[in-house]
Structure 1
Amino acid sequence: MGLFSKPEVVGLQVGDADRARVDALERRVAALEAQLAGLLAAGTPSGAPAADAPVAVEPWLAEVQELRRAGKTIHAIKVYREHTGVGLKQAKDAVEAMPG
């Protein structure tokens, strides 16, 4: 099923399928935002932050990044999952992509 194709979910009402699809999209967007924030936090290749790079908007994301830098990756993944609702693998990949 593509991003904008009709849901083909067996056993769900149309409203349920729409809600499930919106929930899945929200989780994907949250994961992408976190990955982008991690990349922006990494700064330029020289290590200096990019001049026009925005600061992480969500305070919980700053907490996740700090936990990651402190070597508390498992706790960082837990916080990330609590705020995004993504699965363990997605959260692990997003947190590990952040600068450490």
Structure 2
Amino acid sequence: MDSVEERIARLERQVADLQRHLGIDPALADPQGPFLPPEFYQALERGKTILAIKIYREATGASLLEAKNTVETMARGRR
């Protein structure tokens, strides 16, 4: 049986892998951050940046500039 420390380390690696897959910069990720609906990630995956920005703004209440910068950063992380 794994120790608690080993289990935590394994979970942390899994979270980091998921963040990389989703294009989330862990340095910018807020643990209490916004819930983004699946449609956001689908738009991001399809390269529909404007739609992703719209969805992001609706989900977070962010300004247009903040949403644009965040979504573009996430999109670059997916390439």
Q: Give TM-score, length-normalised by structure 1.
A: 0.40
Q: Which has the higher contact order (CA 8 A, sep 6+)?
A: 2
Q: Give TM-score, length-normalised by structure 2.
A: 0.49
Larger radius of gyration: 1
Which has the larger share of helix?
2
